[in-house]
Amino acid sequence: MNRVLKGLLAGAAVLCAATTGQAETLRLMTWGGYAPDGVIALFEEKYPDIDVEVTFSNNEEMVAKLRATGGAGYDLAQPSVSRIVAAQSEYGIYKPLDLSKIDTTVFQPDMMRAMEVNATLDGEIYSVPHLWGTQGLIVDKSEAPDVEAWGDLCDPQYKGRVSMRLKRAVLLGMAFDMGMDPFEAYDDPAEYQKILDVLTERLIACKDNVKTYWTGGDDLARLILSGEVVVSDAWDSTAFKLYGQNPDILFVPTRTGALAWIDTFSIPAKGEADEAAYKWINFVMQPEIMTMMSASSGAIGAVKGAIELMPADSRAAVEAAFDEAALANLKFMPSVPAGIEDLEGKALERIKAASN
């Protein structure tokens, strides 16, 4: 009996040791460039009991995946602030943040105000800011020196040398360029559909200009660097990264203003590693880590002094793209009401399916 008891105790001790030595997994769903290997290595060195598992995604996929699982499967997600309130209202896919566990003193005040306005529901805040940037045009100025507007994507002189990403930004940018304000129509689906109908016809009519529709930043970078494409819609971060390789490649905020976004940290409703998520948020907002994040993503941090923390070539690219007037003309993208993305999706599908 003593031998049996000793065997059971020994087995329990081994099981306990294995359990306590097992690392917790932080399942992070984020954008490409937002979780570079070097940052993960430093985090895991500081917190050896946490393993970081990364899934790269985008806004539409993040919301779709969390909607399908009711907010399960991931412990930290990074949707844009425009994808918080409507998704939470309709699907309940996030949980409120405990700001006492986040060092909010590091954030730019205007970025936190944007969260208070656009990521708060029923008195609870669901996101804090991480990186921000804009969407406008990337232009090889040696080949297309006069480009300044979204409508220039349809200029016949650039036939076959244009690219676009068939997502909502090109719809919004083209709408502003044509004298319409899509954000004002967000709360009126019928009015917004009228705008989309005009945009659909416009973008179908200029399909002959499009060499290819890009899907990722690496795709677009290759097209621009090779000279196959001289103008495209783009995230400013893509242009900032390429500026160091070719100073003729610039980000153009456009005459109607670049579309501005803020990517956030949000905890899914059924996340299982909240403490690890808070540790990641605080870790990556440190100045030296923010520099690594900007170098990897090309985006600007939501912390105080973020532009100064960027690598030198990225800082130069930002200064080349934005003067005070361009910064004052930014069009910050508001929360997207329920149903609007479905309308946009159908418009984009019509454009994609239309023959040249």
Q: Which pair of tokens denotes residue 316?
A: 């130069």
Please give the pLDDT value at position 293: 95
Q: What is the pLDDT of residue 274?
A: 98
pLDDT at 298: 86
Using DSSP, state whether 99 is helix, strand or coil.
helix
133 burial (CB, 10 Å; 0-12 / 13-18 / 19+) is buried
Distance CA 125, CA 343 (A): 28
Length of the chain: 356
Return all residues near 183 (Cβ < 8 A) that are at least 6 apart.
172, 331, 333, 334
pTM for this model (two decimals) = 0.77
Spell out the SS3 assignment of 29-70: EECCCCCCHHHHHHHHHHCCCEEEEEEECCHHHHHHHHHHHC
Domains of the chain in start order, with CATH, are 2-131+261-316 (3.40.190.10), 133-260+330-353 (3.40.190.10)
What pLDDT score was predicted for residue 19?
44
SS3 308: helix
pLDDT along the chain (356 residues), means of 10: 48 45 90 96 98 96 97 98 94 98 95 92 97 96 97 97 96 98 95 98 96 92 97 94 92 96 97 98 97 92 93 88 89 88 95 86
Q: Quick one: pLDDT at residue 284?
A: 98
The per-residue DSSP string of 239-280 comes to: HHHHHTT-TTEEEE--TT-PEEEEEEEBEETT-S-HHHHHHH
pLDDT for residue 22: 72
Residue 263, pLDDT score = 97
Phi, psi of 28 (to 5 degrees): -105, 125
